[in-house]
Amino acid sequence: MGGKKERDERQKEVGKSRIPLDPFSVRWTEKYHETLEKYWSRLPNFVGTFIASVAVFIMGSTIRGEWLHILVHFLRAFKQGDNNTTTTTTIPDALNSTSTFLGIDLASYKLQGVGYYWLAASTVSYTFYFGIGGFLHWYYYVRQRDRPEEWKCQPNKFLPPDLERHEIILGSFSLFLGSTISAVISCYIMNGGTTTIYYDVHEYGWLWYFLSWPVVFVWQDYLTYWHHRAYHMPFLYKHFHKLHHKYKQPTAFSVTAIHPIEFLHIQAVIVSPMVLFPVHWTVFVVILSYLYYHGIIDHSGINFKAHWWQPWQPDCIFHDNHHQYFHVNFGFNCELWDKIHGTYRQKNKVYREDIFYGKGKEMTECSKEELKKALQETESENVLAYRGKMHGDQIMAVKEMLT
């Protein structure tokens, strides 16, 4: 009883004392906490958890305009079923009227009507970024702020308001770039543009269809590993990627808070299969949605665990460690690459922002002061975010060196 009363009083303080009227800080959700809680508390727990999970998926598949990819490929596949001939354009005549831009004949590049695609992509991206992003922030970072040890990867550390504001402003600009890229690609495809994506399974057979699932996934994830690792080299890190590492306690908004140059580069990596080798549209859009969904999860700062059917997928703490310790754990959807290349976080090494190349520093080479700081960082993690004794082993390894 006493614990519940204390939490209720603390939540009231949250609602009263921390309501900055700042549209670029997610803490504005605290203003509506009591109203949201009033209705949310009526839902069964499993319903609330399900809604939160669906919200993460929707946010992941919409904020960069990926929903347009899904819609366009679905429409192309549907049209292909009606007519085996390639469709030159399936957009309404009203959209075809937008055929020139700054004197450029858009139809020559199969981009007629691209402005309408961009408007749709941008509207949905920003709506869900702030709407669902704000909801997720409220659901965890406001509603459960008084008990972070139950859900947060770094329970005693929260991103300061100024960095919350920073990640949203930077992330909002990335949304503009992402929406533009998605609009251009979707418009090009809808107008009959050439890609390596196909819509009839029989073009390449069922064998390749099933093989292409792991092939596309491994291609994108392994290439992303090396892309990410390259941006952790001293020059690229200092001038580009360091911007993303301002968020040592990442949130879902951190996923798009990336330097524009790096953002364009990673987008090229993700869409690369559609211009490099044959890939069925269902394979492409499902894996694309999966990657973006886990992009939100991995940056959420919440101790989400991979499901039983995802033996390749690391838990959320894996990437949270990357933000906390900087040059380690470069993979995203498969920790195998880090284990193969020796960049997986090891219990007998110390990691810091000034120790590059993902190898860490041997504890035997560290001073007592370095070991003490390493121990403080490790102890600040949430044991619930790990499986088994891994977290305890990491702490014991440092303590043994200090004795």
Q: Provide the residue ranges of all domains of the chain, joining segments of one domain with +.
A: 2-296, 318-402
Region 241-265 average pLDDT? 94
Selected residue with higher pLDDT from 381 and 28: 381
Mean pLDDT of 55-78: 81
Can you tell me the distance from the alpha carbon of 258 to that of 170, in angstroms, rounded to the nearest whole number? Answer: 7
How confident is the model over 272-299, as pLDDT tens digits?
Answer: 999 999 999 999 999 998 998 899 889 9
**pLDDT of 27:** 62
CB 237 within 8 A of CB 246: no
Alpha-carbon distance of 140 to 162, in angstroms, equals: 19
Count how many residues are written for the chain: 403
> What span, in angstroms and rounded, lies between the C-alpha atoms of 165 and 23?
9
Q: Using 50, 70 and 90 to split pLDDT, how confident is the model at 9?
A: low
Is the pLDDT at 25 greater than 70? The verdict is: no
**What angle separates helix 66-82 from helix 45-62, to the nearest 10 degrees?**
80
| Contact status, residue 30 vs residue 15, Cβ threshold 8 Å | yes
- What is the predicted pLDDT for the residue at 130? 86
Global confidence as pTM: 0.86
For the chain, percent of residues with pLDDT exceeding 90: 58
How far is residue 325 from each of residues 252, 270, 318, 382, 393, measured CA to CA in Å? 18, 25, 11, 15, 17
List pLDDT tens digits, range 230-241: 999 999 999 999
CA atoms of 233 and 246, how far apart (whole Å)? 17
CB 20 within 8 A of CB 28: yes
Q: Residue 88: pLDDT above 90? A: no
- CA atoms within 13 A of residue 359's CA, in its CB half-sphere: 5
pLDDT of amino acid 133: 84
- Asked which of 10-19, 60-69, 368-377 is least confident by mean pLDDT, the reply is 10-19
Q: Give the pLDDT confidence of 333-366 residue by residue, as tens digits.
A: 999 999 999 999 999 999 999 999 999 999 999 9
CA atoms of 196 and 194, how far apart (whole Å): 7
With 0-12 CB in 10 A as exposed, 13-18 as middle and 19+ as buried, what is 78?
A: exposed
Which 3 state secondary structure label does DSSP give 104?
strand
219 neighbors 275 (Cβ within 8 angstroms)? no
In the structure, what pLDDT confidence band is assigned to residue 382 with cuts at 50, 70 and 90?
Answer: very high
pLDDT, tens digit, 9 for 90 and up, residues 102-133: 567 788 888 988 999 999 999 988 988 888 88
Residue 112 pairs in a beta bridge with none
> Residue 193 pLDDT more than 80?
yes
